[in-house]
Amino acid sequence: MPRASSPAMPGMRSGLDVTNPVLVAAFRSALLHQGLVALLILATVAVAWASVRELFPTLKAPAGEREGGAPAGEREGGEREEPARRLVRYGFGLLWIFDGLLQAQPAMPAGLPGKVIAPAAATSPAWVQHLLNWAWTAWSFHPIEAATATVWIQVGIGTWLLAAERGTISRLAGLVSVGWGLVVWVFGEAFGGVFAPGLSLLFGAPGAALLYVVAGALLALPERFWRSAALGKLLLSGLGLFFVGMAVLQAWPGRGFWQGASHGKPGSLVAKVGSISATPQPAPLARLIAGFASFAAGHGFLVNTVAVIALAAIGIGLLGGGLRGWLRRLLLPAVILATVACLAIWVLVQDLGFLGGLGTDPNSMIPLLLLVLAGYLGVRRVAQPAEQEVAPALATVQAPATDPALARRRPASIRPKGLARGFVSARASGLVAAWGAFLVLFGAGPMAMAQANPVADPIIAQAIGGSSAPLYLRAPPFTLTDQYGRPVSLASLRGKVVLLTFLDPVCYTDCPVIAEEVHAADQMLGSDASAVEMVAIAANPVRYALRYVRAFDREHDMTGLRNYVYLTGPLAQLRKAWADYGMTVLPGRSMAIHSDLAFVIDSRGFVRTEIDDNPGPGTAAARSSFAAMFTQDVEQTLADGHSPPR
Contacts of 53 (CB under 8 A, 6+ apart): 59, 60, 424
How far, rounded to the nearest angstrom, does the alpha carbon of residue 212 sit from its chain's CA centroid? 16
Residue 59: burial class (beta carbons within 10 Å; 0-12, 13-18, 19+) = middle
Q: E strand or H helix at 79, and its extent? A: none
Distance from C-alpha of 420 to C-alpha of 61, rounded to nearest angstrom: 10
The string of pLDDT tens digits covering residues 27-48 is 999 999 999 999 999 999 999 8
Nearest Cα to Cα of residue 493 among 478, 508, 474, 513: 478
pLDDT band at 75; cut points 50, 70, 90: very low
- CB atoms near residue 161 (< 10 Å): 29
Q: Give the per-residue pLDDT at 134.
A: 86
Q: Give the per-residue pLDDT at 387.
A: 39
Domain ranges of the chain: 20-58+69-227+419-453, 229-359+368-376, 459-640
Nearest Cα to Cα of residue 538 among 572, 501, 564: 501
DSSP state of 192: G
Contacts of 55 (CB under 8 A, 6+ apart): none
pLDDT for 196 beyond 80 = yes
Q: E strand or H helix at 92, and its extent? A: helix 83-102
Distance from C-alpha of 568 to C-alpha of 572, rounded to nearest angstrom: 11
414 neighbors 150 (Cβ within 8 angstroms) = no
The string of pLDDT tens digits covering residues 359-411 is 889 999 999 999 999 999 999 865 444 334 444 443 444 444 444 444 444 44
Q: Give the per-residue pLDDT at 385.
A: 46
Q: How far is CA 252 from CA 255, 256, 304, 314, 348, in A?
A: 7, 9, 11, 18, 22
354 neighbors 95 (Cβ within 8 angstroms) = no
Residue 386: burial class (beta carbons within 10 Å; 0-12, 13-18, 19+) = exposed
Phi then psi dihedrals of residue 238, to 5 deg: -60, -45
Q: Give the per-residue pLDDT at 409.
A: 43
pLDDT for 643 beyond 90 = no
Q: Give the per-residue pLDDT at 263.
A: 63
Q: How far is CA 521 from CA 69, 337, 526, 545, 548, in A?
A: 53, 62, 9, 27, 24
CATH of 459-640, one of 3.30.200.190, 3.40.630.10, 3.40.30.10, 3.40.50.920: 3.40.30.10
Distance from C-alpha of 473 to C-alpha of 476, rounded to nearest angstrom: 9
pLDDT for 264 beyond 70 = no
pLDDT band at 421; cut points 50, 70, 90: low
| Average model confidence (pLDDT) across the chain | 85
The string of pLDDT tens digits covering residues 530-568 is 999 999 999 999 999 999 999 999 999 998 898 999 999
The segment with the largest mean pLDDT, out of 90-94, 121-125, 130-134, is: 90-94
Distance from C-alpha of 380 to C-alpha of 328, rounded to nearest angstrom: 11
Q: E strand or H helix at 549, and its extent? A: helix 546-555
